[in-house]
Structure 1
Amino acid sequence: MKLFNSKSLYFYIGSGLAQVVTIITTFYIIKKFTPEAFGEFSYYFSIGSIIGSFATLKYELSIPLSQNSVEANDKSNLTILVSLAFNLIFSLIGLSTSLYQFNIYFLYILLLSNTVSINACFQQFLLYKEEHFLNGLTPLLFSILNLGILLFLTQNNGEVILSSYITSNIIMLIIYLICVKRNGYDILFKNISFYKQLFRKHLDFPRYVLPSSIANILLAYCNPIFIGYLFDKNNVGLFSFSLRILMLPSIVIGSVASSIYRTKIAKQYFDNDIEGIRYQTNNLFLILILLAIFCFPILILVIKYIPLVIDMSRWKGVVPVAVFLVPFAISQLFFQPFSNIALVFKKNKILLLQNVIQLVATVLVYIISFLCKFEFEVFLMFFSATLLIVSFYSCYRFHKILKQ
């Protein structure tokens, strides 16, 4: 299996088209719904998505790192059990305190968190099975379903957007279940003592990989908050919009290549094929270099000429902001795929350390910018350059694992 071939091409195309439909959906929501409605949706969506992401304790990432189909099946069932238990415990805690009220939004959050975690589990199972056509088709189906349901809903409130998203998730759960069953997934669970043993055997995932994911989420969400504190909301908007466009190579191609790369080198790891892993790593590096050289100049041109299609009179200054953020976008393009080396070689302490270093470096950038009273443009250059250096150092540490 190569990172780019006729089989994996479906994965890339499907992920790319899904992003296109998602962007269309975003413009439709902006046009049809009020900011208050979108804010209400975002609030509950964030809660459900974060809980769903953490509910698996990141055991789903162990599924592609399996020696055979039986082990992948057992890890999938373990992930489902863990996520269901976590969601149940969190719901009981929420209801017994002031976090939750038993109403329609509680049910929405419960449905969203459970479907997010179980769908993530099935996605990783299909990834192990190298069903790249299905892994490309499913996100595209989801984005089309979400847009299609929204088109038929008439009310203008956050509950409408949320119900559309959850309905799409439930339909996708049924589709995923059919797909994994056809690929040999056995939904019959073994005795609880077996899963206790399996849980302990792969304890590194909640111990190291889960905190690494928390660090990534903090990195994603803290930037707008800190920028809003240091500068103003206008700069937050310019930053967020620019980054949304510049992260497309990472979302569409980088994440797909990363998933395929992780599955491939995991199988080579069990076969003790270190030379094969090095070959795949060199291929990955070449792909990411080509993406950085060709994609980012094109995206800058896209941002520059968007005003010819959409009124961007209130978004003056977005082009220089995007240019300053290119090094940061490149750093994220490389970090995610190369972090798989630590995951596969069971060097999860290194993975956690590098994520923490990125988080600490980001916070230090903001502290220094605050103390030195940097202008926004100076801050962007300092921010991008620092994260680029830190990410490339992390990639060096990950690559060094291969030599050991």
Structure 2
Amino acid sequence: MSAYWRHVSTVFTGSLFAQSIPIIGSLAIARIFAPSEFGEFSTWLALVSFIAVVVTLRLETVLAIVEDGEDRAKAVFITLATTLSMTCILSVALYILSSFSIARAYLPEQPVLLSLIVPAAFLVALNQIWQTWAAVDGTYRKLNTMRLVQAFSIVLIQIGAGLRYPAAVSLVLGFVIASGISFVTAVILMPRFVYGSFFHHDMFLKFFLRYKKFPLYALPADSINTAVAQLPVLVVFHRFGGETAGYLALTMRVLGAPVGLVGKAILDVFKRYAVLGIRESGNCRNLYIKTFMALALASIIMVICTVLLAEDIFRVAFGDEWIQSGRMAIWLLPMFALGLVASPLSYMVYLVEKQYVDLLWQVGLMVVAMAALYGFSSSRSTLIGYGVGYAMMYMVYILISYRLSGGGN
């Protein structure tokens, strides 16, 4: 266990800097861009995040369970080829959808924003593949470098562009350019991905037959999960306007920071050690319990700090016009607090290949989220209902993942 927590500490340190950079950058961004512009960018980013999940078919999650060496390199190659193919298909699909009035209501009005959705999603997917690869290989320093470059690039370019032209398009262009820089950095750090001997159609066939559960179950499950996570900004933008969506987007960025910081650091190490435990003894229950206790402690600290300080932090850090974001942080606290515990541990469904369980849970989550987002008349009651419903579903997921840690039975 000492090696486990030492590696968690290594990833945590890198994640601390990587997660701190967007928060510090938000101090400048909130004063450069109006809430409505930030809301428009966040709506665009929600669409990008969803498409980035779809184009990979969630095959990058396979990397955690394949053997080190050539088998994993082949898995990376197949994932890359699949991602490129899916990106081309979705480009055509998005072009067709943009001609329908119903779809246009949820798509950006500016042509440049619309045209950059798929390229941005492709870059996000590529960065996710490389970062997952680094994590499962145990090269945590390279992983930290990738995330730091990504975070620094996005913040610096967005601030620089905003100083010249404080509009949503500057935030979008800054994100796309920075994602490209991050990907180039990742390839330089881990360039082992082109192998001539891999070009065999039977290799693809065997791979998809062996891991068919991932596109069949994990893809729809994670697509639903990403949609549910991004829906608040999209629905709030559609129902209550860009300004309210901007407040919400900043809330989710700031409150999501500790969840991303602690959750990603532990997940990156947990999935490697958990799969080793399952291979050696058939379960990882002891590792699961100790990880759960650490996450629960972090969650309690987060709750106390948010309740006591949220409104003051947003007012002092971002200005009086953003104090509404501090109020929203308290409304959504149940979701983020339990998400901090549940999200890293939910990876158990992939490690024991029980993706259908995850899919069923995600469908239930979608029903709960849609009922909350469209079942209340005010933005306050809508977000409170969404946060409480999400938290209740997280409690169910914690119980499921605990059971699966015993070996999937």
Shared fold by TM > 0.5? yes
Aligned to 1:17: 17
Residue 224 of structure 2: which of 186, 201, 215 is its match? 215
Stretch moving more, 63-72 or 124-133: 63-72
The answer for the alignment partner of 2:190 in structure 1 is: 180
Structure 1 residue aligned with 2:135: 127
Deviations 1:368-395 (A, max 9, x none): x54xx79946x66655444333321222
Residue 357 (structure 1) shift: 1.6
Structure 2 letter corresponding to 1:394: Y
Instruction: Figure out how many residues of one structure are paired with residues of the other and give that number.
Output: 394
CA distance in 2, matches of 1:340, 1:261: 9
CA distance in 2, matches of 1:88, 1:317: 38
Map 1:218-297 to 2 at 5 A. 218-224=227-233, 241-269=250-278, 271-275=279-283, 277-297=284-304
Residue 346 (structure 1) shift:
0.7
Query: Is the CA contact 2:255–2:336 (under 8 Å) kept in the aligned structure 1?
Result: yes
Residue 194 of structure 1 is matched in structure 2 by 203
Instruction: Determine helix, strand or coil for the equivalent of 1:125.
Output: helix
Match in the other structure for 1:57: 57
* Alignment correspondent of 1:394: 397
- CA distance in 2 between counterparts of 1:316 and 1:165 reads 25
Kept after mapping to 1: 8 A contact 2:233/2:245? yes
> What residue number does 2:104 align with?
none
Q: Report the Cα distance in structure 2 between the residues aligned to 1:235 and 1:108, rounded to whole angstroms.
A: 24
Deviation of the 1:187 alpha carbon: 4.3
1:117 maps to a residue whose letter is: A
Does the 8 Å contact 1:63/1:125 carry over to 2? yes
Residues 251, 325 of structure 2: 8 Å contact kept? no
Aligned to 2:103: none
Q: Name the CA distance, whole Å, in 2 between partners of 1:16 and 1:299.
A: 18
246-255 vs 87-96, which deviates more? 87-96
> What is the CA–CA distance in structure 2 between the aligned matches of 1:9 and 1:18, rounded to whole Å?
14
Q: Which structure has the greater CA radius of gyration?
A: 1
Give the corresponding residue for 1:347. 354
Distance (Å, rounded) in 2 between the aligned partners of 1:248 and 1:203: 33
CA apart distance, 1:253: 0.5
Residues 125 and 187 of structure 1: CA distance in aligned 2, closer, same or farther (over 3 Å):
farther
Displacement of 1:57: 0.5
Q: Which amino acid aligns with 2:172?
A: L
**Which AA in structure 1 matches 2:344?**
P
- SS of 2:298's partner is helix
- Check 1:210–1:41 CA distance in 2 against 1; reply closer, same or farther (3 A cut): same
* CA deviation profile, 1:327-374 (whole Å, cap 9, x unmatched): 22222122212221111101111111111122222334456x54xx79
1:250 and 1:124 map into 2 onto residues whose CA distance is 18
Q: Cα–Cα, structure 1 residues 226 and 173, in superposed 2: closer, same or farther, change >3 Å?
A: closer
CA distance in 1, matches of 2:113, 2:379: 42
Greater shift in the superposed pair: 228-237 or 352-361 = 228-237
Q: Render the CA deviation track for 1:85-135: whole Å, top value 9, x for unaligned.
A: 1112223445577559xx866764453232222221111111111111121
Alpha-carbon shift at residue 197 of structure 1 (Å): 2.0
Deviates more, 1:86-95 or 1:349-358: 86-95
The one-letter amino acid of 1:206's match is P
Q: Which has the higher contact order (CA 8 A, sep 6+)?
A: 2
Residues 256 and 298 of structure 1, relative CA distance in 2, 3 Å threshold: same
- Tell me how far 1:8 sits from its aligned partner: 3.2
Letter in 2 for 1:24: I
Within 1, Cα distance between the matches of 2:199 and 2:8? 33
CA–CA separation in structure 1 for the residues paired with 2:113 and 2:383? 38
Q: What is the aligned-residue RMSD (CA, Å)?
A: 3.4
Name the amino acid aligned to 1:286: M
**Alignment partners' CA distance in 2, 1:231 and 1:89:** 33
Distance 2:176 2:237 in 1: 31
CA contact (8 A) 1:326 1:384 kept: yes
Distance 1:37 1:402, change over 3 A: closer
Instruction: Report if the CA contact (8 A) 1:145-1:168 is conserved.
Output: yes
Larger displacement relative to structure 2 (382-391 or 191-200): 382-391
Provide closer, same or farther for how the CA distance between residues 126 and 115 of structure 1 changes in structure 2, counting only shifts above 3 A.
same
Q: Structure 1 residues 67, 268: CA separation in 2 closer, same or farther (over 3 Å shift)? A: farther
User: How much has 1:165 moved relative to structure 2?
Assistant: 2.1
Counterpart code for 1:130: G
Of stretches 196-205 and 341-350 in structure 1, the one that deviates more from structure 2 is 196-205
For residues 95 and 386 of structure 1, what CA distance do their matches in structure 2 show? 34
Asked if 1:147 corresponds to 2:155, the answer is yes
Q: Give matches, 1:30-45, under 5 Å.
A: 30-33=30-33, 38=38, 41-42=41-42, 44-45=44-45
Q: TM-score, normalised by structure 1?
A: 0.84
CA 1:119–1:375 in 2, change beyond 3 Å: closer, same or farther? closer
Cα deviations by residue, 1:172-197 (Å, 9 ceiling, x for unpaired): 2221112223xx55544331221122
User: What letter corresponds to residue 20 of structure 1 in structure 2?
Assistant: S
* CA distance in structure 2 between the aligned counterparts of 1:11 and 1:4, rounded to whole angstroms: 11
Q: 1:40-89: CA deviations, max 9, x gaps?
A: 64455444443233111100111111122222111100110001111122
Query: How far apart, CA to CA, are the structure 2 residues paired with 1:173 and 1:3?
Result: 29
Do 1:11 and 1:137's aligned partners in 2 also have CA atoms closer than 8 Å? no
